[in-house]
Amino acid sequence: MISESANNQHFMFYRYFITIYFLLFSIYFFKSNLPVPIYCLLLGRITIMTESTEDTLFEFPCEFPLKVMGRNIAEFEGIVIEIVNRHVENLGENSLKTRDSGNGKFISITVTFEAQSKQQLDDLYRELHAHEHVLMLL
């Protein structure tokens, strides 16, 4: 017989799994048709940042890691840097880390910068999300 706490842990696992699966499915397949909600995975929970002036989990200014994933093409890194530079002043030299997928078909770029406001993050996510070469944002 399964204890109540073990049963609850299984329920929570499946709840998070289904939520994350739906989120990734929505972003990948309906990217161009999504309204402007911007999705982030924060502290193991899903937070939806919208255009409203709701409270945020961040205290600004703060260090913010942004992960952008796409196909491993020559110009992808330049595209990401160009878009980030439009929204972030003084992007440091060591603020960019890249990593190829196991088979080399995809690349992830992590940009760490000092975020000044929720509006700055929303605008940055919105522009990156709209670009055809960006497959996923975290």
Instruction: Sketch the domain layout of the chain as residue ranges.
Output: 51-137
DSSP state of 125: H
Instruction: Name beta bridge partners: 136.
Output: 69
Instruction: Note every long-range contact of 82-87, with CB atoms under 8 Å and residues 24 or more positions apart, other chains counting.
Output: 83/124, 83/127, 83/128, 83/131, 84/111, 84/113, 84/124, 84/128, 86/127, 87/120, 87/123, 87/124, 87/127
Predicted local distance difference test score (pLDDT) of residue 92: 80
Level-2 CATH architecture, domain 51-137: 2-Layer Sandwich (3.30)
Predicted local distance difference test score (pLDDT) of residue 116: 92
Predicted local distance difference test score (pLDDT) of residue 27: 60
Averages of pLDDT over runs of 10 residues in the chain (138 residues) are 56 63 59 44 42 66 93 94 93 88 93 92 94 92
Predicted local distance difference test score (pLDDT) of residue 17: 61
Predicted local distance difference test score (pLDDT) of residue 58: 80
- Rounded to whole angstroms, the maximal C-alpha distance in the chain is 58
Predicted local distance difference test score (pLDDT) of residue 40: 42
pTM of structure: 0.61
Predicted local distance difference test score (pLDDT) of residue 128: 95
Predicted local distance difference test score (pLDDT) of residue 59: 86
Nearest to 48 by CA among 118, 135, 115, 132: 118
